[in-house]
């Protein structure tokens, strides 16, 4: 912006310079840990039950067990985190404990110098969090701990399958295409997708990539933030062929994923669509969008089908997790708290309430429904877990990927274009 008057410009500069200097001073401080009673501010996304109630209980229980630690919980709407966290990490008093999803986004946050390296504090117990914990590392150091894991797969309505004459859940792409055709003949929307939010579209591309690319290629590509192997383009072509079968509900490009009964989750919840490729949170989301008390008994789950000729293991899964990171002020107290969150009592509560898949295996037996147990077991047995790419890659690259995939869904762009978009974003082009 070029203000015409000289004086305002000078004034603006005068204001800006101290701020820039303040921004520059965001270097890491080897903060001495506070001694004596400690209050931890905790930003989490449990604004609704069941998680809301569980966290409230956790705060009370932890204080009872550790009288010198008081936790001040601040629930924040999930969508606010991408806005609020960067601002908080710019300030001098970011929250002590905050929700983090690991991967490339967390790596960016680490550059602020305010995120604590808790490798030492967590070493004795981090193995309890399973192989997922590796996603909360950057440069081999632990910067957060997951408390919940997510597996993505197909949630389907058994009653609608029966109605259309689909007897068993598909295990190959061909079987899936057949099922789609049968459902269409029966007048049902075969698959619901929340195209408006873009990330549900990306799940399809992600999974085709997981099927087409070997786990080595996947790991290496994420590390280098570069898509070079032809399997990435092949995945795009698989997606294009799949899209050509027109398996989605009418107007999917404008459908939200989780908001309101008209969302993709709502469509499945109310029996208007037969399947949706989503994470394990889906039953929880669906239950709030319908009055159907019998919903749980009508829902089943099957993993993403195998793709012929793919170099990826057909049992590999697209996964993710929810976790928390610590800031430097009270990192030891924070790490201890995170250990508590991963302990069996807390994890059992989470599993039993259907709030998510626990990272603690002992808690898995308390999972609310058999379907969720199936999902959990699948994740445990999977030879390889790939974090969804929009979290694994740095944020800008992940967003470019989601955009390119959404374009393909809209009938624009090419499979090659997806690879190009990601590589360009990674190279710093906007």
| Residue ranges in 147-176 that form contacts with other proteins under rule CB under 8 A | none
Residues 311 to 370: which contact other proteins by CB under 8 A? none
Rounded to whole angstroms, the Cα distance separating 115 from 417 reads 35
Cis ω before 50 (30° cut-off from 0): yes
Burial 371-387 (b: 16+ CB within 10 A, else e): bbbbbbebbbebebbbb
Using rule CB under 8 A, residue 427 touches other proteins = no
Query: Minimum distance between the CB of residue 224 and other proteins, rounded to whole angstroms?
Result: 19
- Residue 421 as a binder of other proteins (CB under 8 A): the answer is no
d(CA 106, CA 354): 26
User: Applying CB under 8 A, does 198 fall inside the site for other proteins?
Assistant: yes
Q: Write the DSSP string, 106-173.
A: HHHHHTTS-B---HHHHTTTGGGG-GGGGGGEETTEE-EEEEEEEE-EEEEEHHHHHHHT--S---BH
Task: Read off the tokens for 228.
Answer: 């070079």
Provide the token pair at 297: 């008994």
Query: Which run of H or E residues covers position 318?
Result: strand 317-326
The reply to whether 278 sits near other proteins by the rule CB under 8 A is no
**Of 76 and 359, CB closest to other proteins:** 76
Cβ partners under 8 Å of residue 232, min gap 6: 209, 212, 213, 221, 418, 419
Site for other proteins in 380-399 (CB under 8 A): 394-396, 399
* Burial of 1 from C-beta contacts in 10 A (0-12 / 13-18 / 19+): exposed
Distances in whole angstroms, Cα of residue 399 to Cα of each of 71, 145, 405? 34, 24, 10
Nearer to other proteins by C-beta: 129 or 274?
274
CB of 283 to other proteins, least distance (A): 13
Find all residues with CB under 8 Å of 370, minimum gap 6, and list them: none
Q: Which stretch binds other proteins (CB under 8 A): 144-152, 157-165, 283-291, 376-384?
A: 283-291
- Mark 114-153 with x for binding to other proteins (rule: CB under 8 A) and - for no binding: x---------------------------------------
Shortest spacing between CB 333 and other proteins, in angstroms: 20
Residues linked to residue 321 through DSSP beta bridges, in sequence order = 149
Nearer of residues 352 and 396 to other proteins, judged by Cβ: 396
Find the binder of other proteins among 3, 31, 362, 427 (CB under 8 A): 3
Phi, psi of 142 (to 5 degrees): -85, 125
20 binds other proteins (CB under 8 A): yes
Q: Does residue 414 touch other proteins according to CB under 8 A?
A: no
Instruction: Select from 63-71, 225-233, 306-314, 402-410 the region that touches other proteins (CB under 8 A).
Output: 402-410
Continuous segment of H or E residues that includes residue 210: helix 199-212
Nearest approach in angstroms of CB 314 to other proteins is 31
Which residue, 92 or 178, is less far from other proteins as judged by CB? 92
The nearer residue to other proteins, 215 or 270, going by C-beta atoms, is: 270
Between 75 and 314, name the residue whose CB sits nearer to other proteins. 75
**In whole angstroms, what is the distance from residue 144 CA to residue 327 CA?**
10
* Contact stretch for other proteins (CB under 8 A) within 116-124, 189-197, 332-340, 376-384: 189-197
Kindly state whether residue 250 participates in binding other proteins, applying the rule CB under 8 A.
yes
Nearer to other proteins by Cβ, of 57 and 83: the residue is 83
User: Helices 415-426 and 395-409, interaxial angle, to 10°?
Assistant: 160
**Is 246 a binder of other proteins (CB under 8 A)?**
no
| Span near other proteins by CB under 8 A; candidates 110-118, 275-283, 307-315, 326-334 | 110-118
Residue from 6, 19, 65, 140 touching other proteins (CB under 8 A): that is: 19
Q: Does 254 bind other proteins (CB under 8 A)?
A: yes
- Select from 82-90, 119-127, 141-149, 173-181 the region that touches other proteins (CB under 8 A): 82-90
**Residue 111 corresponds to which tokens in the numbers above?**
């550059």
Give 292's Cβ-side CA count (13 Å radius): 20
For other proteins (CB under 8 A), the number of binding residues is 83
Specify the stretch interacting with other proteins by CB under 8 A; choose among 32-40, 54-62, 104-112, 294-302.
Answer: 104-112
Residue 197 DSSP class = G
Q: Contact with other proteins (CB under 8 A): which of 33, 70, 74, 361?
A: 74
Phi, psi dihedrals of residue 315, rounded to the nearest 5°: -100, 5
285 binds other proteins (CB under 8 A): yes
């Amino acid at each position: 912006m070029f203000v015409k008057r000289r004086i305002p410009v000078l004034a603006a500069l005068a204001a800006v310079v101290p701020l820039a200097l303040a921004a520059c001073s965001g270097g890491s401080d080897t903060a001495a840990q506070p001694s004596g009673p400690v209050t931890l501010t905790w930003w989490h996304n449990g604004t609704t039950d069941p998680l809301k109630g569980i966290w409230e209980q956790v705060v009370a229980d932890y204080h009872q067990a550790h009288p010198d630690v008081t936790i001040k919980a601040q629930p924040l709407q999930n969508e606010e985190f991408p806005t609020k966290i960067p601002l908080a990490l710019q300030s001098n008093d970011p929250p002590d404990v905050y929700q983090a999803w690991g991967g490339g986004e967390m790596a960016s946050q680490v550059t602020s110098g305010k995120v604590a390296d808790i490798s030492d504090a967590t070493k004795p117990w981090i193995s309890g969090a399973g192989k997922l914990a590796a996603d909360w590392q950057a440069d081999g150091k632990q910067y957060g701990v997951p408390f919940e894991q997510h597996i993505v797969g197909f949630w389907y309505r058994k009653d609608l399958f029966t109605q259309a004459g689909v007897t068993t859940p598909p295990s190959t792409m061909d079987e899936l295409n057949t099922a789609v055709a049968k459902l269409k003949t029966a007048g049902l929307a075969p698959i619901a997708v929340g195209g408006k939010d873009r990330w549900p579209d990306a799940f399809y591309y992600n999974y085709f990539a997981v099927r087409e690319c070997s786990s080595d290629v996947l790991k290496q590509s994420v590390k280098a933030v570069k898509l070079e192997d032809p399997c990435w383009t092949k995945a795009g072509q698989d997606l294009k062929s799949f899209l050509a079968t027109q398996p989605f509900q009418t107007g999917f490009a404008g459908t939200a994923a989780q908001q309101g009964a008209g969302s993709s989750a709502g469509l499945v919840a109310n029996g208007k669509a037969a399947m949706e490729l989503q994470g394990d949170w889906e039953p929880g989301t669906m239950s709030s969008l319908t009055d159907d008390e019998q919903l749980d008994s009508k829902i089943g789950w099957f993993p993403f089908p195998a793709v012929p000729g793919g170099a990826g293991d057909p049992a590999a899964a697209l996964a993710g997790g929810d976790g928390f990171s610590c800031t430097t002020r009270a990192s030891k107290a924070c790490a201890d708290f995170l250990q508590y969150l991963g302990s069996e009592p807390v994890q059992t509560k989470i599993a039993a309430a259907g709030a998510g898949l626990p990272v603690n295996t002992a808690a898995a037996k308390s999972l609310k429904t058999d379907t969720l147990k199936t999902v959990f077991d699948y994740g445990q047995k999977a030879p390889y877990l790939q974090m969804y790419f929009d979290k694994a890659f740095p944020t800008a690259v992940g967003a470019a990927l989601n955009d390119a995939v959404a374009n393909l869904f809209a009938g624009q762009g090419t499979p090659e274009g997806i690879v190009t978009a990601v590589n360009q974003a990674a190279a710093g082009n906007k």
